[in-house]
Amino acid sequence: MDGAVTITPATPADAPEIAAIYAHHVLHGTASFETVPPDAAEMAARMAKVRDAGAPWLIARVAAGEAVGFAYAAQYNARAAYRYACENSIYLRHDRLGQGIGTGLLAALLQACEDCGFRQVIAGIAGSEPASIALHARAGFVEVARLKSVGRKHGRWLDVLYLQRALGAGDATPPPEEPR
């Protein structure tokens, strides 16, 4: 990871910087299928929903204090049987790509997900995002599905790849309690 990057749990005070990082991807990229960037208040509400459910939301900062990325995970589906599966998201500031920040941020997120009791993690990635696919592959994710042309943004049809990896014992042992 790039020199002095610190990864910590995000707080509501981080919402404006997180919203700014995400806005660039919404407006200029295909990593998000949103077309209108959420403002800081909406981002704070999203963060609260994730954190209130006991799932992780992390922020990466350089030594000078500026945010350079964020990552979070939430239960894959609200139904009880999905209790041990989560879906992750990771976004880096557009001018800080390729510096190892994503590798460190994803590693910290995977550990936080395991600490929360998740056993499987899923990443839904636009097929036009080879760097994100490579990042996840380096972290042990494997492609499990591809949805063809399910999104349209910036004049293009976009595939979504689903990658998955086990956390901790994965499905080798039962969880500490059955979902209810």
Instruction: Specify the CATH number for the domain of residue 21.
Output: 3.40.630.30
Of 62, 47, 46, 45, give the one whose Cα is nearest residue 9: 47
According to the model, what pLDDT value does residue 128 have? 79
Let me know if residue 54 belongs to a domain: yes
**Tens digit of each residue's pLDDT (9 = 90 or more) over 129-164:** 899 999 999 999 999 999 999 999 999 999 999 999
Let me know if residue 158 belongs to a domain: yes
Let me know if residue 69 belongs to a domain: yes
127 pLDDT band, cuts 50/70/90, is: confident
According to the model, what pLDDT value does residue 118 have? 98
Domain total in the chain = 1
Let me know if residue 86 belongs to a domain: yes
Q: Which domain holds residue 96?
A: 5-166
How far is residue 141's CA from residue 121's CA, in Å, rounded to a whole number?
9
Let me know if residue 175 belongs to a domain: no
Q: Rounded to the nearest 5°, which phi and psi values hold at 162? A: -110, 120
- pTM to 2 decimal places: 0.95
CB proximity list for 168: less than 8 A, separation 6 or greater: 114, 119
Let me know if residue 176 belongs to a domain: no
**Tens digit of each residue's pLDDT (9 = 90 or more) over 64-81:** 999 999 999 999 999 999
Let me know if residue 178 belongs to a domain: no
* Least confident span in 1-5, 7-11, 95-99, 142-146: 1-5
CB 97 within 8 A of CB 69: no
Higher pLDDT, 61 or 127: 61
Let me know if residue 171 belongs to a domain: no
